[in-house]
Amino acid sequence: KPLFGYKFKRTELLREALTHCSSPQPPCNQRLEFLGDAALDMVITCHLVAACADATVSGQRWSLVRGAEVMNPGLITDRRNRLV
C-alpha cells in the first residue's frame, strides 16, 4: 500500500524500521539504525575531507571534528581555519 505517495518494494524493511526494540515482534530497528549511522558517518567524513582538504589534522582529531560537525552542522566547515 502506498505510504506518503511511495510504494515500498521491501515492506519487511519498513516494518523493521518502524518497530521499537521493546516490541515483542522482532526484528527491531537497531540494525537499520546502526546502518544509517554508519552511512551518515561516511557522508560527513567525505564532506569534511573535501571541505578541509588544506588542513593538517591527525587521525584522532578528525574523529573529534566529525563529532563536532554532527552536533553543530556547519560549525567546522564554516570555521575550518580552527582545524589546524
CA-to-CA distance for 37 and 78, rounded, in angstroms? Answer: 23
C-alpha cell at 35: 546502518
pLDDT in tens, 27-60: 999 999 999 988 988 888 888 878 777 677 777 7
**Strand, helix or coil at 3?**
strand
- Average per-residue pLDDT for the chain: 79
The CA distance from 70 to 64, in Å, is 10
What is the pTM assigned to this prediction?
A: 0.63
